[in-house]
Amino acid sequence: MGIISSMSTFEMVFFIIIWFSVAWLFGCWARRRGRRSELWFFLFILLGGLISALLLLMLPNLANVNKLKKDELEVLDRVEIKDARLWYYLDKDHVQHGPVGKSLLRDLPGNSYIWSEGMEEWRIMDSLDAFMTPEKH
């Protein structure tokens, strides 16, 4: 006779409540490791605790990776909010390039022609206040 057949109804309900509670805690642990808690909750129920725990431990901890990506995105968002315009520039042979961000234009020579939406004509970069460095003022 198996262990399940020898359990009373009360013991069976108690066992199921405990099993789901531990599965929920396992899902919380998976979330702290950067994984989807719902998926790991069900894996724990279906595969059992030992197999699920070994699988989760074998996979890399994504919590730190996701935090780094989130921090990088916040920095990029701040940069993009400051300068969301797209720019075009002419090289020395007057070939148009772009669109590029403002940060890339800073590497160009000051006498480069640049243009962005809202400008009436191409302008020399040094003539625009947005690109003036303190030593050029």
pLDDT tens readout for residues 91-118: 888 888 888 887 777 778 888 888 888 8
The yes-or-no verdict on residue 65 having pLDDT over 80 is no
- Predicted pLDDT of residue 78: 53
Q: Are 122 and 111 within 8 A, CB to CB?
A: no
Q: In the numeric block, which tokens belong to residue 78? A: 């701040």
Rounded-to-integer distance, Cα 71 and Cα 83, Å: 19
pLDDT at 44: 93
Q: What single letter denotes the amino acid at residue 131?
A: F
Amino acid 38: pLDDT? 93
Cα dist from 59 to 17, 30, 63, 70, whole Å: 28, 10, 12, 20
Q: For the chain, give every domain's residue range.
A: 9-65, 87-136
Least confident piece of the model among 13-17, 71-75, 95-99 = 71-75
Structural tokens at position 86 = 């797209």
Residue 59 φ/ψ, nearest 5 degrees: -80, 150
pTM (predicted TM-score):
0.45
